[in-house]
Amino acid sequence: MPSKKLGRINEDIRLCMSELLREVKDPRVHQGLLSVTAADTTGDLKYCKVYISALAPKSEKELLQGLRSASGWFRRELGHRLSLRNTPELTFILDHSIQEGAHINDLLSKLDIPEDDDEQDNDQ
């Protein structure tokens, strides 16, 4: 489990990256609805995995290529906005948890579950 300081740094990186995603000029990055779900930084602040969730992207491969090509810009902007000893090298990972949650929610809404008869039994 990360320390409190590392947890704060991860949260700061996540918030800053979510702001920076809107400012990127690369059209490969602007696909569907993007959100930063998490950031996981190593203890020495050299590397950071940034988990990106994309709802209905045109191409996940192009999205990752756009993020990788803009990683230097992201790193420079993080260095300017956050006062860290080291600005971590960023690695982008697609997070499918929101899509999976939406799929499970859709499956549950399609189930034909009868209402509970407990209320009727308690009245008798």
pLDDT at 56: 72
Please provide the DSSP assignment of 49-80 as one string.
EEEEEEES-S-HHHHHHHHHHTHHHHHHHHHH
pLDDT at 124 over 60: no
Position 122 in a domain = no
- Looking at the structure of the chain, the number of domains it has is 1
Q: Would residue 72 count as lying in a domain? A: yes
Q: Is residue 79 a part of any domain in this protein?
A: yes
Structure pTM?
A: 0.76
Q: How far is CA 79 from CA 46, 71, 99, 117, in A?
A: 12, 12, 31, 60
Q: What is the pLDDT at residue 100? A: 79
Question: Average pLDDT in the 12-22 region?
Answer: 92
Domain that holds residue 106: 4-111
Residue 118 belongs to some domain of the structure? no
Give the CATH number of the domain where residue 88 resides: 3.30.300.20
Give residue-wise pLDDT tens across range 18-54: 999 988 888 888 877 888 999 999 988 899 999 998 8
- Write out pLDDT tens, residues 88-119: 999 999 988 777 788 888 888 888 777 776 65
